[in-house]
Amino acid sequence: MIQPRHTPFEAYRGRRAVVTGGLGFIGSNLSLALRAHGAQVVVIDSLVHGCGGSPANLKEFAPEIHVELADIADSDRVPEHLLGADVIFNLASEISHSADPADASRDLELNVCSQLAFLRLCAQHAPRRRVVYTSTRQVYGPPRYLPVDERHPVEPVDFNGVHKHAAAQYHLLMTRLGSIDAVILNLTNVYGPRMALGVPGQGFLAHFLAHALKGHSLRVFGDGRQTRDPLFVEDAVDAILLAGLASLSEHRLFNIGNPEAWSLGQIAELVSEAAHLPPPRLCPFPENRRIIDIGSYSTDTRLAHSVLGWQAATRLPEGIRRTLQFYGRQTFGEVSPKASRYAAVGAHDQSA
């Protein structure tokens, strides 16, 4: 039997964990990890169109994980699941990045209004419980310096970044008021098994992987020199789990990324090579993408390492290989059972 990699996670055994957005990409991987570590897991997900959630992400493990199809702001159906919760992982959100004012109202409703309503429910029915909220590096906008630490100015370039920052501030405010016990994680580009590759607006990595799985050669906007620090989903899940357990006082916000940065051209080459495709080609930036492009980005993870004890463990070539292996070359639905650490989950263990 494969044992969990991090012994601190044994503390989740027997604990009740609520995961909002648990049918989505990161949320489903988190839910499987929690179950593998012996937690009692409740998923709350409304399956809003375009947010990447899919029942298929947990279908194989349905007997092990309770799924409540509800909006996180639903005051009739959500409270019963918050009662008795030991820890709450709040991953529900709109995921599309857009500077189009037509998209602002939907993003505001999902990423701010629903979040505030949910936090009020948490304060009432799970007071002072740990709430881990996953925000995004997009809140920082174009970096003034690299790597980006937690003191970097907040200057988002799209509505999603503005609204995610607002939601994070609600979490922190209600923590200062003593209503909840929140931790904010600003995640970099996360990739890996269970990405909703067919959903637009998820960034360059989903685009690269989706095209590669279809056998299409890749295009890179601009000169390909912009850097990113993609994070494999299992490493992101480890950071979220550690945030759920950490004893905190001063620090409540952490940047989570990969200390190893790669240019977009290099990333496209890695994906192309792994998928046995021709080399990628450069092309001009579409104007609607140029206005929200942030240039190069890399994460300063020293605070997360020193306070949470977290660091990324998966190098990009390995992560890309495992991601492509998970999906298979023919359809996005083909799953290799050995591609993910939590691909097969028993009642109190995980299988190879």
Backbone dihedral region of 173: left (phi > 0), alpha (psi from -120 to 50 degrees) or beta?
Answer: alpha
Summarised one tens digit per residue, pLDDT across range 120-137 is 999 999 999 999 999 999
Q: Which of 19-23, 141-145, 210-214, 289-293 has the lowest mean pLDDT?
A: 289-293
How far, in Å, CA of 111 to CA of 48, rounded?
12
Q: In which band, very low, low, confident or very high, does the pLDDT at 49 lie, cut at 50, 70 and 90?
A: confident
What was the pLDDT predicted at 347?
27
What was the pLDDT predicted at 50?
73
Peptide bond into 156 cis (omega under 30): no
How many other CB atoms sit within 10 Å of the CB of residue 249? 6
User: What are the structural domains of the chain?
Assistant: 13-327 (3.40.50.720)
| Tokens of residue 322, six digits | 């495992």
Residue with tokens 């939590």: 342
Tell me whether residue 253 is exposed, middle or buried, using C-beta atoms within 10 angstroms of its C-beta: 0 to 12, 13 to 18, 19 or more.
Answer: middle
**How is residue 43 annotated by DSSP?**
E
Mean pLDDT over 279-306 rounds to 87
**Greater pLDDT, 249 or 86:** 86
Mean pLDDT over 138-142 rounds to 96
φ, ψ dihedrals at 255, nearest 5°: -90, 130
What was the pLDDT predicted at 261?
96
Q: In which band, very low, low, confident or very high, does the pLDDT at 341 lie, cut at 50, 70 and 90?
A: very low
What was the pLDDT predicted at 99?
58
Q: In which band, very low, low, confident or very high, does the pLDDT at 98 lie, cut at 50, 70 and 90?
A: low
What was the pLDDT predicted at 53?
86
> Which residue in 230, 238, 232, 164 sits closest to 194, CA to CA?
232
- In angstroms, the Cα distances linking 341 to 41, 240, 348 are 18, 16, 14
Task: Count CA atoms closer than 13 A to 91's CA, side-chain side.
Answer: 31
Mean pLDDT over 148-172 rounds to 96
Residues contacting 71, CB < 8 A, separation 6+: 46, 78, 114
pLDDT at 348 over 90: no
